[in-house]
Chain A
Amino acid sequence: MQEFKVVKTRPEPEKKVGKHIITVKVQHNFGVLARITGLFAGRGYNIESLTVGRTHEPNIARITIVVDGEERVVEQIIKQLRKLIETLKVRDITELPHIERELALIKIHTENDRARDEIMRLVNIFRGKVVDVSQDSYTVEITGDDEKIEAFIDLIKPFGVKEMARTGTLAMVRESAVAKEGVLD
């Protein structure tokens, strides 16, 4: 068909993939977490971490979600999160100045005194704490952002990690940014 001779195309938006930190304020009703995780699961998206906790306001919980994915899909998920009846505020704070913290409990094998000394030194450098001791293990508590915790794990891996639990990332926009950008938290 002659009208169709020329192939014309819409400019395609570039595909950007990356880590996103999303904070969500919700009414703390039962089932709200299932609604949120369902949005990710239904799109075949893995949540890297998700933390929930109460806030100073009654019946309001705050959720921090870390997700790795394509910009467009993450944007769509954020819009879907906003659509949920029980969400009060959804923000992608990745690009804003913010504080990230995670807590990890790591049970490390302590083969001998040398290992114990070495681990203690690393714990001190990373400002961690030994919170439980046994004949052949230290349980260490360490806080920091994802990068710091990963670095610590890398260093103590050779000693043998017996068990590990991590809270997942908590995040908050810095007050300076809140004031500057006029965004309310």
Chain B
Amino acid sequence: MQTQKKRGADIVVDVLVAEGVDTIFGLPGGAIMEVYDALFDAPFRNVLTRHEQAACHMADGYARATGKVGVVIATSGPGATNLVTGLATAYMDSIPLVAITGQVPRHYIGTDAFQEADVIGITRPITKHNFLVTDIKDLPLILRQAFYIARTGRPGPVLVDIPKDITQQVSEFRIPTDDELRESLPGYNPHTEGNPVQIKKAADLIRKATKPVIYVGGGVILSEAAEEVYKLTKLTNIPVTTTNMGKGSFPETDPLSLHMLGMHGTYYANMAVYNCDLLIAIGARFDDRVTGKITEFAPEAKIIHIDIDPASISKTITVDVPIVGDVKTVLRKLIKELENKPIEWLQARENWLRQIQEWREKHPLSYRKSDKIIKPQAVIEEIYNITSGDAIISAGVGQHQMWAAMFYKYSYPRQFLNSGGLGTMGFGFPAAVGAKMGRPDKTVFAIEGDGSFIMNIQDLATAVQYRVPVKIAIINNGFLGMVRQWQQFFYDSRYASVCISVQPDFVKLAEAFGAIGLRATKPSEVREVLQKAMEINDRPVLIDFVVDREENVLPMVPAGKSYREMIVSPKQKSEAETMYLVG
């Protein structure tokens, strides 16, 4: 490509075009105005949000739903600091984002100038990498590096901070080639292939195991390896449990699916993991919400761990066969290795599957149904039915998030979006907007709590402005429900600062924003309002589900405890009375 003279701001737009960007999210301000001026003529969609945090979650939801790099733009100072929660959210879940922030002009940096903040310093521990552009000559390469770093290896957010005077400056410019890009990053070489010796060891363990379980995390989705996981399970007949982040990487309607494991995992998944003799961890990182008490996690199992990030290996749990590599690549090789020699039929393995089936029947996922009061789980089940299990679900954080994880059966990757690692309240709705913009062909439901939703409620205006027909289901219990549940279980039911029943009329509020508002207060109304909501396709629709206020998320393994101490199910009147610690 030949060089041409361009303004810094136009260089930004040109590189975004070259990177194939079709949608960006953001909000302008002083230091980024030049870039916004250039964006005025950009050949892609530029979404104006009402808050930078929502912009970041939208870019994140867009990235999660499409697999492409999400792009968010903000101004210096408060604009950039408002991105912090969104960047940390994406960082914890390894979501590829590029954040472009304006910075005060170079000669003002360090002078406590208006809207100045050390954004590089602030975001250093919550980004995969970040850049401060100090010379316009570096700008095109840095932007390309940002996209490359964001989407390769273990993906993550990358921030580029550009001083305003550089966006205004005019310079010779051409887009750096792929070779120049790679040569410019000599220290960045993610291992993708997987060590063949280790892969062979893993195959041997798989052949010999009598009680194996596959434990699948978000890495499978990031690596687009759902097909390989499916193939592996069908080849070996090994049951699969997924983490919250791994949902959708294995069809939950499949008889081999054990559904989620961990703190709010199913009884049968946790029993299987507790008793297995081989645990095959794929693109998962042994999060504390999964393991509970480390010393009693899969206590008798040999562990195979496939992950692209060497730092994830033996971080919390020492594993027996670590394989560093891209999940998809490694699984392909592992499958090939296993196909070389047919797997022997083992009676013990049959017994294992039968044992799991018994656990499944003993404590299936369940809740007490009611025809007087709406049960939150019933709402999720009804959403599942009305969308034929095909919708993209984006959840906030709290009880509703766990119910959305448990009672909707996910069948394809990128179907369930939520802030798994950071646990960011307010994530679900803006992420749903981003997801719907990226996947207009899919029905997108934001399943939100009344506490979570209100944290980014301002961006209903954005969804209305761009006519994004997301459905928002508020599981409204007038509580910060998950905290209330913990207070009930572990703090003697002292409900400190969790009652939020003084709240806006969400239906009227939706209408004030120009969206449609609906409400259901009785079980008989649930299906009806959902049907109505499904018919609206030109604007957002919000449904306020007024649910049982003190319903609990069960099963539950209390934080830091062993699976032995799992609280399985409520039996009688009060959960607090009947919850029993087993073991």
Q: Which residues of chain A from 17 to 63 have a CB within 8 Å of any chain B CB? A: 26-27, 30-31, 34-35, 38, 42
In the complex, the answer to whether A88 meets B295 with C-beta atoms within 8 Å is: no
> How many angstroms between the C-alpha atoms of A79 and B149 in the bound complex?
18
In the complex, the answer to whether A3 meets B275 with C-beta atoms within 8 Å is: yes
Residues of A within 8 A of B40 (CB): none
> How many angstroms between the C-alpha atoms of A83 and B125 in the bound complex?
12
Residues of B within 8 A of A30 (CB): 132, 134
Tell me if A124 is interfacial: C-beta within 8 Å of chain B. no
Residues of A within 8 A of B274 (CB): 3-4
Q: How far is the CB of B7 from chain A (nearest CB, A)?
A: 25
In the complex, the answer to whether B310 meets A8 with C-beta atoms within 8 Å is: no
> How many angstroms between the C-alpha atoms of A80 and B310 in the bound complex?
9
In the complex, the answer to whether B120 meets A27 with C-beta atoms within 8 Å is: no
Tell me if B222 is interfacial: C-beta within 8 Å of chain A. no
In the complex, the answer to whether A13 meets B318 with C-beta atoms within 8 Å is: yes
Among residues of A, the one whose C-beta sits closest to the C-beta of B581 is A1
Residues of A within 8 A of B129 (CB): 85
In the complex, the answer to whether A80 meets B311 with C-beta atoms within 8 Å is: yes
In the complex, the answer to whether A42 meets B309 with C-beta atoms within 8 Å is: no
Residues of B within 8 A of A8 (CB): 296, 299-300
Supposing A7-B296, A10-B298, A83-B311 touch, asked if A38 and B124 sit within 8 A by C-beta, the answer is yes
Supposing A10-B296, A79-B311 touch, asked if A85 and B185 sit within 8 A by C-beta, the answer is yes
Q: How far is the CB of A19 from chain B (nearest CB, A)?
A: 22
Residue in B120, B311, B317, B564 whose beta carbon sits within 8 Å of that of A4 in the complex: B564
Q: How far is the CB of A134 from chain B (nearest CB, A)?
A: 38
Tell me if B315 is interfacial: C-beta within 8 Å of chain A. yes
> How many angstroms between the C-alpha atoms of A86 and B583 in the bound complex?
49
Residues of B within 8 A of A85 (CB): 128-129, 149, 185, 187-188
Tell me if A76 is interfacial: C-beta within 8 Å of chain B. yes
Tell me if A154 is interfacial: C-beta within 8 Å of chain B. no
> How many angstroms between the C-alpha atoms of A83 and B134 in the bound complex?
24
> How many angstroms between the C-alpha atoms of A150 and B123 in the bound complex?
39
Tell me if A12 is interfacial: C-beta within 8 Å of chain B. yes
> How many angstroms between the C-alpha atoms of A87 and B318 in the bound complex?
26
Supposing A3-B271, A76-B315 touch, asked if A82 and B310 sit within 8 A by C-beta, the answer is yes
* Extra pairs beyond A9-B296, A27-B186, A76-B315 (17, CB < 8 Å): A3-B271, A4-B564, A5-B583, A7-B296, A7-B583, A8-B300, A10-B295, A10-B296, A12-B295, A30-B132, A31-B120, A75-B314, A85-B129, A85-B149, A85-B185, A86-B187, A88-B187
Tell me if B297 is interfacial: C-beta within 8 Å of chain A. yes
Tell me if B294 is interfacial: C-beta within 8 Å of chain A. yes
Q: List 13 A-B contacts (CB under 8 A).
A: A1-B568, A1-B582, A3-B359, A4-B563, A4-B564, A10-B296, A12-B295, A30-B134, A38-B125, A76-B311, A83-B311, A85-B129, A85-B187
> How many angstroms between the C-alpha atoms of A13 and B316 in the bound complex?
11
Among residues of A, the one whose C-beta sits closest to the C-beta of B565 is A4
Tell me if A96 is interfacial: C-beta within 8 Å of chain B. no
Residues of B within 8 A of A88 (CB): 186-187
Tell me if B110 is interfacial: C-beta within 8 Å of chain A. no
Q: How many residues of A contact B (CB 8 A)?
A: 29
Supposing A9-B299, A31-B120 touch, asked if A84 and B187 sit within 8 A by C-beta, the answer is yes
> How many angstroms between the C-alpha atoms of A34 and B188 in the bound complex?
18
Q: Which residues of chain B from 118 to 169 have a CB within 8 Å of any chain A CB? A: 120-121, 124-125, 128-129, 132, 134, 149
In the complex, the answer to whether B583 meets A10 with C-beta atoms within 8 Å is: no
> How many angstroms between the C-alpha atoms of A10 and B132 in the bound complex?
46
In the complex, the answer to whether B564 meets A7 with C-beta atoms within 8 Å is: yes
Interface string of A147-169 (1 = CB under 8 A from B): 00000000000000000000000
> How many angstroms between the C-alpha atoms of A10 and B313 in the bound complex?
17
Supposing A10-B297, A79-B311 touch, asked if A35 and B124 sit within 8 A by C-beta, the answer is yes
In the complex, the answer to whether A34 meets B310 with C-beta atoms within 8 Å is: no
Among residues of B, the one whose C-beta sits closest to the C-beta of A9 is B295
> How many angstroms between the C-alpha atoms of A167 and B583 in the bound complex?
56
In the complex, the answer to whether B317 meets A79 with C-beta atoms within 8 Å is: no
In the complex, the answer to whether B299 meets A10 with C-beta atoms within 8 Å is: yes
- Of the four ranges (under 10, 10 to 19, 20 to 34, 35 or more), the interface on chain B belongs to 35 or more
In the complex, the answer to whether B310 meets A79 with C-beta atoms within 8 Å is: yes
Chain A residues close to B by CB (< 8 Å): 1, 3-5, 7-10, 12-13, 26-27, 30-31, 34-35, 38, 42, 75-76, 79-80, 82-88
Residues of B within 8 A of A82 (CB): 310-311
Residue in B132, B298, B309, B582 whose beta carbon sits within 8 Å of that of A83 in the complex: B309
Residues of B within 8 A of A35 (CB): 124
Q: How far is the CB of B11 from chain A (nearest CB, A)?
A: 21
Residues of A within 8 A of B311 (CB): 76, 79-80, 82-83
Q: How far is the CB of A70 from chain B (nearest CB, A)?
A: 13
> How many angstroms between the C-alpha atoms of A184 and B132 in the bound complex?
32
> How many angstroms between the C-alpha atoms of A75 and B299 in the bound complex?
23
Q: How far is the CB of A82 from chain B (nearest CB, A)?
A: 7
Q: How far is the CB of A47 from chain B (nearest CB, A)?
A: 16
Residues of B within 8 A of A12 (CB): 295
> How many angstroms between the C-alpha atoms of A145 and B571 in the bound complex?
68
> How many angstroms between the C-alpha atoms of A120 and B582 in the bound complex?
74
> How many angstroms between the C-alpha atoms of A38 and B185 in the bound complex?
21
> How many angstroms between the C-alpha atoms of A82 and B310 in the bound complex?
9
Residues of A within 8 A of B121 (CB): 34
Among residues of A, the one whose C-beta sits closest to the C-beta of B318 is A13
Q: How far is the CB of B382 from chain A (nearest CB, A)?
A: 32
Q: How far is the CB of A1 from chain B (nearest CB, A)?
A: 4
Residues of B within 8 A of A9 (CB): 295-296, 299
> How many angstroms between the C-alpha atoms of A84 and B121 in the bound complex?
15
In the complex, the answer to whether A27 meets B187 with C-beta atoms within 8 Å is: yes
Q: How far is the CB of A58 from chain B (nearest CB, A)?
A: 12
Residues of A within 8 A of B187 (CB): 26-27, 84-88
Residues of A within 8 A of B186 (CB): 27, 88
Residues of A within 8 A of B566 (CB): 1
> How many angstroms between the C-alpha atoms of A76 and B403 in the bound complex?
34
Residue among A1, A80, A86 with the highest chain B CB neighbour number at 10 A: A1
> How many angstroms between the C-alpha atoms of A84 and B314 in the bound complex?
19
Residues of B within 8 A of A83 (CB): 309-311
Residues of B within 8 A of A26 (CB): 187
Closest 8 CB pairs of A and B: A8-B299, A79-B311, A1-B582, A4-B564, A88-B187, A85-B129, A9-B295, A4-B583
> How many angstroms between the C-alpha atoms of A36 and B582 in the bound complex?
45
In the complex, the answer to whether A34 meets B124 with C-beta atoms within 8 Å is: yes
Interface string of B185-221 (1 = CB under 8 A from A): 1111000000000000000000000000000000000
> How many angstroms between the C-alpha atoms of A34 and B294 in the bound complex?
32
Supposing A1-B582, A84-B187 touch, asked if A31 and B132 sit within 8 A by C-beta, the answer is yes
Q: How far is the CB of B571 from chain A (nearest CB, A)?
A: 14
Q: How far is the CB of A59 from chain B (nearest CB, A)?
A: 10
